[in-house]
Structure 1
Amino acid sequence: MLAQLLCQYQDTPGGLLPLLQDIQEDLGYIPPESIPGIAEVMNLSAAEVHGVVSFYHDFSTRPGARHSLQVCAAESCQASGGLELEQVARDALGVNFGEVTDDGAVELKKVYCLGNCACSPSVRIDNETYARLDAGRLRALIAGLRTTEERG
């Protein structure tokens, strides 16, 4: 699959981000060993590709949990109750930022902007953004994730 994606984006100007997004979607992460090949096909240095992968919080270089909970820590969210949401997420999941729950269900991530400042505070669960959250709504969302995992 990776080789097919590399061929697909090889001659696409500005194709690095779409290529990385497709790899992330297909594999769940960007394998570190693929970075030199990506760089060669895209006519970039491995450092440039690694810089893009490490800059964007949507990319990961290791397989993640089945779900991702991203809590926005940008100024707007912080000013609107984001610190409380950070604590609720840590307490409800029993992990710190950058960690995965013991059952592998949820990875908790701190991110520095979800682009939803007008509706702060916000979190993203997998690919869905939730705005104007309070502690109770976040607890319910996390409980819903756990319920889905139990049924899964």
Structure 2
Amino acid sequence: MGDQRLDPERRLAQLLCQYQDIPGGVLPLLQAVQEDFGYIPGEAVPGIAGVMNLSAAEVHGVISFYHDLKTEPGGRHTLQVCRAESCQAVGGRELERRARELLGVDFGETTADGAVTLEAVYCLGNCACSPSVRVDNETWARVDATKLDSIIAGLRGNGPVA
């Protein structure tokens, strides 16, 4: 994340200045805002629209089009379970069920303790090693229930992420 010593308005102003002259820079700017803040705050949209010479509706359209862009803060960690056919064919549906059960949330939700956001994805590009999950930016291959239990325990602070 960005320089947390600066207040949020100054951090956003720095990002707006950094990207304002980049043609087609709205997506890189949105990604940078999300990297810095953990999500794209609604109050940032008018400033983004202004420096990119777009309407707020156009910026919202970009945000809603890309599923990786978030408008609400998520958990400290993100667990993505692949729902593509390759993963489903070798136990992915059971992993989906297990993840929802262990975390007590459905896809798109965050655990009450703020530790984990559960997301569905439709291919992690790891089909030869299905079923797969991704934790934050690390992909795990050939995940079974035991490995998933261990991963989730680690994410919740109950042991190492295995």
Higher-Rg structure is 2
**Alignment partner, residue 116 of structure 1:** 126
Alignment of 1:99-110 (within 5 A): 99-110=109-120
Instruction: Flag structure 1 segments of 5+ consecutive residues without an equivalent.
Output: none
CA distance in 1, matches of 2:69, 2:158: 24
Relative to structure 1, is the Cα distance of residues 62 and 41 closer, same or farther in structure 2, using a 3 angstrom cutoff?
same
Instruction: Flag structure 2 segments of 5+ consecutive residues without an equivalent.
Output: 1-10
Q: How big is the alpha-carbon RMSD for the aligned residues of Structure 1 and Structure 2?
A: 2.1
Deviations 1:63-102 (A, max 9, x none): 1111111112223322232111101101111222222212
For 1:88, which of 93, 98, 101 is the aligned residue? 98
Task: Normalising by structure 2, report the TM-score.
Answer: 0.81
Task: Normalising by structure 1, report the TM-score.
Answer: 0.86
Relative to structure 1, is the Cα distance of residues 73 and 140 closer, same or farther in structure 2, using a 3 angstrom cutoff?
same
**Alignment partner, residue 38 of structure 1:** 48
- Give the fraction of aligned pairs with identical amino acids, expressed as a percent: 73
| Range moving further from structure 2, 6-15 or 69-78 | 69-78
- 1:94–1:101 Cα contact (<8 Å) kept: yes
Deviations 1:17-72 (A, max 9, x none): 22112111111110122222212211233233222212223221011111111112
CA distance in 2, matches of 1:65, 1:120: 25
State how many pairs are aligned: 150
Question: In structure 2, what residue type is equivalent to 1:63?
Answer: P
- 1:57–1:111 Cα contact (<8 Å) kept: no
Relative to structure 1, is the Cα distance of residues 51 and 73 closer, same or farther in structure 2, using a 3 angstrom cutoff?
farther
Relative to structure 1, is the Cα distance of residues 118 and 32 closer, same or farther in structure 2, using a 3 angstrom cutoff?
farther
1:24 aligns with 2:34: yes
**Alignment partner, residue 12 of structure 1:** 22
**Alignment partner, residue 60 of structure 1:** 70
